Chain A
Amino acid sequence: NAGVTQTPKFQVLKTGQSMTLQCAQDMNHNSMYWYRQDPGMGLRLIYYSASEGTTDKGEVPNGYNVSRLNKREFSLRLESAAPSQTSVYFCASLSSGADRNYEQYFGPGTRLTVT
C-alpha cells in the first residue's frame, strides 16, 4: 500500500510556464483534495473531488484547474504560473467513513518555485 503519491517532489518554473501536478491513491477513497501551504497560512483548499467525475472549488481556486481522471488519480494544473503560486502543494484523500473514521491521508508534497 503506497497510500497517496505525488509527482514531482520539486519543481522550478518560470513565470508563464504551465505544468501539471500528479496525485494518485491506492486506498479506494472517493474523496480527494489539493491544498497549498504557505508559511503562516496553514493549509488552504484549492479544489476537491467528492467522487469520480466531480470537482468543486475550495478557498483559493484562481489560477488552477483540476481533473479527476478516475477514482485513483486527481491532477492539478497551473496554466500560466505566477510567483504567487510558489508554495508547497499537498494532495490528500479521505477514507470513506464506513467505520466513522474519515481520516485524511496526505501525500509527501510538491515544492514548487515560480521565478
Chain B
Amino acid sequence: QQPVQSPQAVILREGEDAVINCSSSKALYSVHWYRQKHGEAPVFLMILLKGGEQKGHDKISASFNEKKQQSSLYLTASQLSYSGTYFCGTRALDGTSYDKVIFGPGTSLSVIP
C-alpha cells in the first residue's frame, strides 16, 4: 500500500523552512527520500534505517519514528535549487522482500525569490 505524503504542494520564499511528512499503514524497515526535477529522474537524498534515526544532508535533514511509521523531511533556509517534487519510498516489514520499495505520491515544492 502506497505511503501517504503531506502536504501535496507547498510554495516557499527563499530562506523559509518546510516540512514534508510521510506515513505508512505498515511497519517499516526503512524510509528513503528522493527529489525529482521536472523531466529528470529521481535523485537520492537520504535513507533512514531505524527508529529515531536522523540524517542530514546540507540543510536538508530527516527523522524516522518507526513506532508511528512516520518520517519527516526538513528543509531549512530553502534555496531556489530545492524546487522539485519530493518522494518518500518505504520498505515494509510485512513478510515481503526487503527489496520492495514503494513510493508515495510526492510533494511538489516551489521556492520563489
Tell me if A42 and B100 are in contact (CB < 8 A).
no
Tell me if B99 and A106 are in contact (CB < 8 A).
no
Q: Which of A5-63 contact B (CB under 8 A)?
A: 30-31, 33, 35, 40-45, 48, 50, 56, 58-59
Determine how close the nearest CB of chain B comes to the CB of A111; give it in whole angstroms: 10
**Interface residue from A42, A100, A101 paired with B104 (Cβ < 8 Å):** A42
**Interface residue from B34, B41, B44, B100 paired with A58 (Cβ < 8 Å):** B100
For A94, what are the chain B residues with a Cβ–Cβ distance below 8 Å? Answer: 99, 101
Write out, one digit per residue, whether chain A residues 73-115 have a CB within 8 A of any chain B CB (1) or not (0): 0000000000000000010001000001111111111000000
CB of B109 within 8 Å of the partner chain: no
Q: In the complex, which residue of chain A has the Cβ closest to the Cβ of B102?
A: A45
Tell me if B103 and A42 are in contact (CB < 8 A).
yes
Q: In the complex, which residue of chain A has the Cβ closest to the Cβ of B1?
A: A59
CB of B81 within 8 Å of the partner chain: no
Tell me if A59 and B102 are in contact (CB < 8 A).
yes
CB of B84 within 8 Å of the partner chain: no
For B43, what are the chain A residues with a Cβ–Cβ distance below 8 Å? Answer: 106
For A35, what are the chain B residues with a Cβ–Cβ distance below 8 Å? Answer: 103
Give the interface size bracket for A toward B. 20 to 34
For A41, what are the chain B residues with a Cβ–Cβ distance below 8 Å? Answer: 105
Measured in the bound complex, the distance between the Cα atoms of B40 and A90 in whole Å is 10
Tell me if A43 and B42 are in contact (CB < 8 A).
yes
Write out, one digit per residue, whether chain B residues 33-75 have a CB within 8 A of any chain A CB (1) or not (0): 0100000111110010100000000000000000000000000
Tell me if B105 and A40 are in contact (CB < 8 A).
yes
Determine how close the nearest CB of chain B comes to the CB of A78; give it in whole angstroms: 21
Q: A102-B32, A104-B32 are in contact. Are A33 and B101 (CB under 8 A)?
A: yes
Pairs A-B, 3 closest by C-beta atoms = A106-B41, A42-B105, A43-B103
List 13 interface pairs A-B (beta carbons < 8 Å), by A numbering. A42-B105, A43-B42, A43-B103, A44-B103, A45-B100, A56-B100, A58-B100, A94-B101, A104-B34, A104-B44, A106-B41, A106-B43, A109-B41
